[in-house]
Structures are given as C-alpha cells and as structure tokens.
Amino acid sequence: MGAELLVIGIDAATWAIIDRHLDKLKTFKMLKTHKEYKSKVLTLDQKPYSAPCWVSIFSGKTEEEHRHHEFVVDNEIQTRDDIKVDFIWDILKRTGKKVKALNVPFIVPPYNFNINFEAPGLGIPSNREEWDAEIAEVTNRAIETLRNENLDLFVVCYVSLDKLQHFHWGEKIVEEYYEKIDETIDKLISFGKKLIIISDHGFCAFGEAKIQTLPRITKDGTELKGDHHENAVLITKNIKTEINNLRDVFKAIKEVFK
Amino acid sequence: MNHLEKLENLSIYIIREAYKQFKNIALLWSIGKDSTTTLWLCRKAFYGKIPFPVIHIDTGFKFPEMYEFRDEWTKKLGINLIVGKNEEALNNGITCCMDDQMTCCKHLKTESLKKVIEKNKFKALIVGIRRDEHGVRAKERYFSPRDEEFRWNYKNQPAELWDQFKSKGEEDNHIRIHPLLHWTELDIWEYIRQENIPINKLYFAKNGRRYRSLGCTRATVPVNSDADTLDKIIEELKTTKTAERSGRAQDKEKAYIMQKLRSLGYM
C-alpha cells in the first residue's frame, strides 16, 4: 500500500526557518543529510504567488500560459473549471494510472482530485484552531488513503504555514508550526517509493524579497508581518529529472510514469 | 398608478420588448418566488398564455416539494416545460457540494443550461433576478449580454438610462433579460399577495423555521421564522436584518472566503 510517487506540497515553506532550526526539525535534518534524499533551494522564475505557482507546479505551464493569476477575478471565486489547462492528475488518469490529489491550494477552497475532503476554514485557516485542524485532518485523510490503497501518484498539500507566517512572521509560533509540519512529513514519507517535497514559494520579512507580492496593511486593516520570497523548498527521493523551476516538477512526475 | 402597478408595468414592457426582439427566447424557472413571479408576469404580458418555453434546470438535488410544485403548476398553467438535467455529470459521480463546492454548480447548473440552449438554439433567456438580492447583482442590466461561455463582462455593458434598453445584441452574444431587476424582496411578496400567485409551501414557517430562498437541499438551510402566512412574511420582511440569501451555503462560503482573502492581502 502507498504510492509509487508521493508529492507533499507545503505552501510557503522556507529554508530560512528550516536551516535556522534544524536541531529541532529532525525530519528535515534527516532529509537534508541522508544520501537517499536530495535537497535544494529552488529559486522561482515567476511571481511568488500561490494561485499561479501551484498551477505551474502541477500543469508544467508558466503563468502566462495557464492564465490563472488570482484566487478571485471580477468578484468571482475561481474554480477548477476556470483554469483551462490539464493537470498532471488529469493526464495520468487518462493513461489508466491511479491518482489522487488532496487539498491542492491553487483555488479556495483547495482542490481535491478523486477524493472527498472538506478543508478546515474552507482552505484559508486563520487561527490556531484552524491551523491545527488542517494539519491533523489533511494528514489523517492522507494516511487513511495511503494505508488502504495502492496508488501511482498521491499529492497532498498544506497551507497553514503560509497563513500563519503572514500574521506571525518573526514570532515563536512560526517555529512551533514548522515542528508540527516536520512531524507530519515524518508520518507520510514512508508511504512513497519516490518523493517530492515542494513549496510554491518561500517567505521573508517585508522588503527582503525581490518582489513585494502583498500589501503591508490589507484592505480590512490587518497588518501583515511577512511576504512571499522567491526561494522555495525542494526535497526529492529517487527522482531522476533535474528540477530547476516549479514547472519542472510536472516534468519530473511525468517522467516517473513515462 | 400605485407602486406595484409601476413595477409590473415596466416588467411587462421589458418582457414584451424581449419577445419582440428575440423570438427564440425562454424563461428560466427555478421554482422559487422570483422566477414564479416572473412566470406570472409573462402570463400577464401575453394574456394568460406564455408564448415561449419555460426551462427548469434540475440538478437532481432539489427539494421534493419543488418538484411537486413544478409538476402541478406546469399542468395547471399549460406551460411548455423543458427540463435540463446533466445526466452525464450525475452518472460520473458529480454530486451537490463536492470538491471545491462551486464545481457542482458549474456541472449541474451551467452545463445543463448550456446544453438546453444549444439544443433549442435560444438567443435569449428571461431570468428573475433582482438588484437587491446580492451585491454582484446590483451591477446587472435589464438586457445583459453574455459571451458564448456565459461570461458576463460587467465592465462593458450598455448603459440603460431613462429606460432606454439596448435589446439588440451582437450575433454571437447570448442575452439575459431581467424584468424583475428593480423589484425588492418585499415588493415580490406584496405582489404575490395582491395577485394570489401560487407559491411553494417551503416559504411558509413550520416548527419555527422557513426557507427564505430556495436552492439545492444540501446548500440551503431554513431561517428562524414564525411567518406561516403571506401577511406574516410581509411583516417579517419589513423589520428583518437577516440577508435574504443567508441560508444559501454557497453565498456564506463565498463571503467568508472573500473576507479571509482580503485579510491576507490577496484582494
């Protein structure tokens, strides 16, 4: 049971935090040091914005090609049907592969392929209760699936780090949730013969990134403490394709099932 | 001329204008109070006999009372009813409120309607929406062009000043006609009472709850209310502070998502 290839997406995970707290993040430390795994800083060549980045990761298209720029367009929340490209799961399913994707956050609520799941906080978890619920419920659903099924590809994503870093960058709580994600990865990685762990972008304090993607003060008056950074996280196991940008993840997955 | 007569006059004028311009036209009937009122106005506009088909888009997840009401009044009023149902999507496992919770609407409503329009080559649809119903509907026009994908470009709509309507569209455009745009929820109920329009029993309170807006069973919840007669509903609406579509899951979710995205700076 498990998956030939397991892809774990962690929205906004950044090496800046992981490297600084490697002594507490045992799984990340193992992934960085064990020879079975390869890890690198993946510097984005596109705007570090979650909606288009996740589509690029799983469609292999640039933002200009897939044209999914925002979660909301003209006051309408975008859905899967608004994005006119095939994702890797659509392509693999057509070739008879067994594929599932859980909580992929290119739309809100996040997208599920071939699996039912209702994301806590409708996929925009915004407080401790919802962050905990997301990590626990997504992990439970993923483990339940991977324990009972033999899949070719299983994709599972988490968005809590992104949301909490926006509000709490520089605070202790950020480390606390990296530790929770670290434990979560430890629970999942044994289910995949091959593995890709990817973040859609990194994170940093305001002004540190090349491009400021979000306003410091939002329209409802909330002050954001951090912003997206162009350096994303990439960790792989048994993946031959060289991954140098987000779209290469799609190519790497396709290559596995060639 | 009283308030309701003025509303009725404009609506009937729009319906007749629409029928004159687009012979291949149909009325969209959701079985709710607004579309049933529109249906009533269409009957009045053409002296008791609606000269075009009436479409009901059946998602397969409507309340049993809605199907009963539809069948009963289709027969009584001699309506030429077309039921659109996306059997293919239903057979493929698409159910109400699945996946991202908006996808089901696209498959079970929009795709069904597209098929009905394509099959019958309808150029225009009469739809009973109101401006006060929802923020985004305030931007609507009486004659509203949609492209071949049903997309609505609200930034590029004809002006409708001094009741001058652009009822002729471009060849590829599909036109939505909204004869109830200027009505409020209260106007609708007062008109229903005045005209004795048949209305679904789900709107009347039972055990302290009633439906204020009807949709699919899994996406609609009743509101707290003791209004079990038309008079009580009208009195309730004069004082209520609850939004009309507060029982619609999709609207609540959308508002929640929008607010969250705003707080994160994504909007």
Task: Say what the pLDDT of residue B135 is.
Answer: 62
Residue A9 has phi, psi (to 5 degrees) of -100, 130
pLDDT above 70 for A24 = yes
CATH numbers and ranges of domains, chain B: 3-177 (3.40.50.620)
Q: Is B150 on the interface with A (CB under 8 A)?
A: no
Task: Say what the pLDDT of residue A44 is.
Answer: 96
Chain A hits for B262, CB-CB cut-off 8 Å, are: 218-220
Distance from CA of A32 to the nearest CA of B (A): 31
pLDDT digits (tens, 9 = 90+) for A65-76: 999 999 988 778
Pairing of strands A2-10, A192-198: parallel
CA distance A93 to A81: 17
CA distance B40 to A134: 49
pLDDT above 80 for A8 = yes
Contact B257 A218 (CB under 8 A): no
Evaluate whether the domain defined by A2-256 bears CATH number 3.40.190.10.
no
With a CB cutoff of 8 Å and minimum separation 6, the contacts of A85 are A55, A59, A61, A65, A66
Q: What is this structure's pTM?
A: 0.62
Question: 3-class SS at B155?
Answer: coil
Name the band, by pLDDT with cuts 50, 70 and 90, for residue A102. Answer: very high
Q: What is the mean pLDDT of residues A1-9?
A: 97
Q: What is the DSSP letter of A223?
A: B
Task: Say what the pLDDT of residue A222 is.
Answer: 79
Task: Say what the pLDDT of residue B170 is.
Answer: 63
Q: Which residue has the higher pLDDT, A44 or B241?
A: A44
Name the band, by pLDDT with cuts 50, 70 and 90, for residue A201. Answer: very high
Distance from CA of A52 to the nearest CA of B (A): 13
Task: Say what the pLDDT of residue B154 is.
Answer: 64
**Where exactly are the structural domains of chain A?**
2-256
Task: Say what the pLDDT of residue B245 is.
Answer: 65
Q: Is the separation of the CB atoms in A122 and A107 below 8 Å?
A: no
pLDDT above 70 for A90 = yes
Q: What is the mean pLDDT of residues A214-243?
A: 90
Q: Is B138 on the interface with A (CB under 8 A)?
A: no
Contact B106 A108 (CB under 8 A): no
Residues of chain B where predicted confidence (pLDDT) is lower than 50: 99-101
Q: So what's the ipTM on this one?
A: 0.75
Q: What is the mean pLDDT of residues A107-131?
A: 90
Task: Say what the pLDDT of residue B14 is.
Answer: 95
Backbone dihedral region of B162: left (phi > 0), alpha (psi from -120 to 50 degrees) or beta? left
Q: What is the mean pLDDT of residues A197-208?
A: 93
Task: Say what the pLDDT of residue A161 is.
Answer: 97
For A162, nearest residue in chain B (alpha carbons): B264
Contact A80 B265 (CB under 8 A): no
Q: What is the mean pLDDT of residues A212-218?
A: 83
- What mean pLDDT, rounded, does chain A reach? 94
Q: What is the mean pLDDT of residues A194-199?
A: 98
Tokens found for residue A146: 């991977």
Q: What is the mean pLDDT of residues A226-249?
A: 96
Contact A72 B154 (CB under 8 A): no
Task: Say what the pLDDT of residue B197 is.
Answer: 96
CA distance B220 to B249: 6
| Other CB atoms within 10 A of residue B256 CB | 14
Name the band, by pLDDT with cuts 50, 70 and 90, for residue A215. Answer: confident
Task: Say what the pLDDT of residue B247 is.
Answer: 62
Q: Is the separation of the CB atoms in B28 and B35 below 8 Å?
A: yes
